[in-house]
């Protein structure tokens, strides 16, 4: 019987593959690398991985600084905790038109994670940030293509 794979695992694998193709990619995570699967990237590229702890706003600002220096930051974050970064998304990233990829996990109703982890406001507030494109893959092929498009700005 074949083992089933989740979109999270596919994301972690695809991110590590993109890291092999582009050494400008850096990954930021907010203390959830085992859940967001950025641990796959950090295992191969530890010098390009930054775990900021529970400091999502700081991660967004850090990603902006990295983008200004020519890196391509990918910030993996739970949907509900990205809300903490709204001001930084506007003032640190959007105003300067910086290339930062937000890899949002746990969007929508998330069952056992509880009501504090339901990410139901993403589309509403992210669509208010200038220059943001929201992708929502529904299968592995879309995930690979959308992640590559976001990282490469294709």
Residue 32 binned pLDDT confidence (cut-offs 50, 70, 90)? very high
Give the burial string for 85-114 (b: 16+ CB within 10 Å, else e). Answer: bbebbeebbbeeebbbbbbbbbbeebeeee
What is the tens place of the pLDDT at every residue in 75-112? 999 988 999 999 999 999 999 999 999 999 887 777 77
pLDDT at 56: 95
pLDDT at 31: 93
Per the prediction, the chain carries an average pLDDT of 91
Alpha carbons 31 and 34: distance in angstroms, whole number:
8
pLDDT at 1: 46
pLDDT at 93: 97
Show the DSSP H helices in 22-129 as ranges. 33-36, 39-44, 56-68, 79-82, 86-88, 122-126
């Amino acid at each position: 019987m074949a083992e089933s794979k989740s979109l999270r695992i596919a994301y972690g694998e695809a991110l590590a593959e993109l890291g092999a193709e582009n050494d400008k990619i850096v990954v930021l995570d907010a203390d959830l690398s085992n859940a967001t699967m950025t641990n796959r990237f950090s295992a191969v590229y530890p010098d390009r991985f930054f775990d900021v702890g529970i400091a999502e706003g700081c991660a967004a600002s850090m990603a902006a600084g990295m983008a200004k220096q020519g890196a391509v930051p990918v910030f993996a974050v739970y949907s509900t905790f990205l809300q903490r970064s709204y001001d930084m998304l506007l003032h640190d990233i959007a105003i300067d038109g910086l290339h930062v990829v937000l890899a949002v996990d746990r969007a929508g109703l998330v069952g056992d994670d509880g009501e504090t982890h339901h990410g139901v406001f993403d589309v509403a507030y992210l669509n208010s940030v200038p220059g943001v494109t929201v992708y929502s893959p529904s299968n592995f092929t879309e995930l690979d293509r959308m992640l590559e498009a976001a990282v490469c700005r294709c």
